[in-house]
Amino acid sequence: MVIRRIPDIAALDAWWSRSRHVGRPVLVLALCLFVGGCIWAASRMGLSLRALDPRALVLLAVLAPVSLGYSALGLKLMARAGGTSIPFSMALGTSAMATIAELLPIPGGAIVRTGGLVKAGVGLGRGSALVLLAAVLWIAAGALGAGLAVVRLNAVAGWALLGLGAGGGILALAWLATLAGARFAATMLLYRVSGLALLALRLKLAFAVLGVVFALVETMPFVLATIAGSAAAIVPAGLGVSEALAALAASSLTLSGAAAFLAVGVDRIVQVLLSGLIALVWVVRDRRPLP
């Protein structure tokens, strides 16, 4: 359904048609992992709804539209690199739909973003390359941030992350510079670094909702866990995977794995709820009936 809300691109629609027949069991399994993990984490922490910090939750909800606006800005930058432009309202709606599409057991978010660029006039090949390289740069930036955060606590893991992040980042930036120019590559680097700060702030607030407070830089391993889990396209939106990776990272940093699992889950729930609301508004305004 989500894929059909974007332009009628035969290759993308065929991909969705082939994948949806096996997607439901994977989605159910991922949901069970996520819900079961959240129940386990809340039980381990002895947490109840009354124990949640409402101020931190409100601030986290306020950051949700900011994050969607950030994603929309990325689409506008990629459209410009493709030699065209995309209205902010369309970029915002596409970003919201992409967040929901990531719940599919395929790279649904990437497909929707590519479709949005194609609808704006970017060629399919160029649009796909821009989305792919932006994703690689995002993962590389997350690895660099996590490496800087943990290198003093775990030198082996820290330097490994720094090496992977630097290698992947250089490769992505070089390819972006070849594809759209050095100025665009530098802009995307700045864009991704600011995105790390935004995601780190969101996770800091998500931890605060649970009553766990620590420095902003200490959220970087969980930022990488969120990004890496989402990159696992075989599991819808990295559902449960991001949370499990966050719990694993927490155990190596002598933090509560249950709190890390639940904090990443809280952030995910807030983002998906808001994206679903905006996506619904966008679909209604689009005036095309859903299939």
Q: Does any domain span residue 256?
A: yes
Q: Does any domain span residue 57?
A: yes
Q: Does any domain span residue 39?
A: yes
Longest dimension (CA), the chain: 55
CA distance 157 to 159: 6
CA distance 282 to 285: 5
Q: Does any domain span residue 213?
A: yes
Q: Does any domain span residue 291?
A: no
CA distance 12 to 14: 5
What's the pLDDT at 241? 74
Are the beta carbons of 220 and 253 closer than 8 angstroms?
Answer: no
* Per-residue pLDDT of the chain in tens (291 residues, 90 and over written 9): 444 444 434 444 555 555 555 556 666 777 787 888 888 888 888 877 788 899 999 999 999 889 999 999 999 999 999 999 999 988 988 888 888 777 766 677 788 888 889 988 998 889 999 999 998 999 999 999 888 888 887 888 889 999 999 999 999 999 999 999 999 999 999 999 999 999 999 999 999 999 888 888 888 888 888 888 776 544 555 666 788 888 888 877 778 888 999 999 899 888 888 888 887 777 666 654 433
Q: Does any domain span residue 131?
A: yes
Cα 175 to chain centroid, rounded: 22
CA distance 145 to 125: 30
N- to C-terminal Cα distance for the chain? 7
DSSP string across the chain:
--GGGS---HHHHHHHHHHHHHHHHHHHHHHHHHHHHHHHHHHHHT--GGGS-HHHHHHHHHHHHHHHHHHHHHHHHHHHHTT----HHHHHHHHHHHHHHTTSSS-HHHHHHHHHHHHHT--HHHHHHHHHHHHHHHHHHHHHHHHHHHTTT-HHHHHHHHHHHHHHHHHHHHHHHHHH-HHHHHHHHHHHHHHHHHHHHHHHHHHHHTT----GGGGHHHHHHHHHHHH-TTSGGGTTHHHHHHHHHHHHTTS-HHHHHHHHHHHHHHHHHHHHHHHHHHHHHHTPPP-
Query: Residue 219 sits in which domain range?
Result: 3-286
What's the pLDDT at 7? 43
What's the pLDDT at 85? 92
What's the pLDDT at 204? 94
Number of domain units in the chain: 1
pTM: 0.85
